[in-house]
Amino acid sequence: MVAVNFFITLLLLSGVRRALLAVGKSDAEVRRIVSAVGISLWGWLILAVVLAWQGTFRSALDQPVPYIALAIGLPILVGAWLVQRSQVVREIIVAVPQSQLVALQVYRVLGVIFLVLYTLGRLPGSFALPAGFGDLFVGLTALLVGAAYLRDHPKRDEFVGLWNGVGILDLVVAVTTGFLSAPSRWQMLALDAPNVIIGSFPLVMIPIYAVPLSVVLHLASLKKLAISYRPTGQQAATA
């Protein structure tokens, strides 16, 4: 899980760098932007690994507030704010092709691990089945929707909007069922066999890093759609 998150982060930063260079940014500007984004992502990833390794998210039974909920929610809130307000993030969103923003999430097919663990009796079906099949569908269709956008399909914007909606819904369902099946005062699912390993290292790296990152990528894709629909004058005024 750590290696996968490391690779996703590396791939994302590499794509941002190539996109910024392709739109004419100077080497100095690209280094500045990529360094800022890289420090944020690597710092977040390292902190997530350390906390997960210490077992911070294994059980919320004795926690006044479930720490795993904070680990998921806070990065999403920060990312959503940056997508809406940060000029640097806006420059990145404008530069990165929509097809790449979408296709990058092919990594979601790794959600198949939930199905594997379910068949091994390690995860409850109430969480593993919707999360596993949902991630598998979103990951596979990421390539199809990305290719449709790249080929200028007449319905490409509709496909992207729908795919983002399904992708976010999948994550909401996965987080909700994962939380409700994990040991805490709010557990309502899998009462006979609590979903302990979703909060344990290394599997917990998915909800505390990959999930918030995926949500922010969805928001960035939707933001790019919104920008593309603005009149040219309005885009120039907000640039």
Intervals of the chain under pLDDT 50: 232-239
- The domain total for the chain is 1
Could you give the C-alpha distances from 181 to 10, 32, 112, 173, 188, in angstroms and in order?
Answer: 32, 43, 19, 12, 6
Cβ–Cβ under 8 Å, residues 126 and 184? no
127: closest CA among 139, 118, 116?
118
- The shares of helix, strand and coil residues in the chain, as percent rounded to the nearest 5, are 75, 0, 25
User: Using one digit for the tens of pLDDT, what is the confidence trace for 103-150?
Assistant: 999 999 999 999 999 999 999 999 999 999 999 999 999 999 999 999
pLDDT in the model for residue 15: 95
Cβ–Cβ under 8 Å, residues 200 and 59? no
pLDDT in the model for residue 191: 85
Could you give the C-alpha distances from 128 to 21, 96, 181, 195, in angstroms and in order?
Answer: 41, 33, 10, 10
List the domain range (segments joined by +) for residue 230: 2-238
pLDDT in the model for residue 198: 93
Please state, in angstroms and rounded to a whole number, the distance separating the CA atoms of residues 104 and 93: 14
| 8 Cβ contact partners less than 8 Å away, ≥ 6 residues apart | 107, 210, 213
Token pair in block for residue 179: 């939380």
* Rounded percentage of the chain residues whose pLDDT exceeds 70: 95
Rounded to two decimals, the pTM is: 0.92
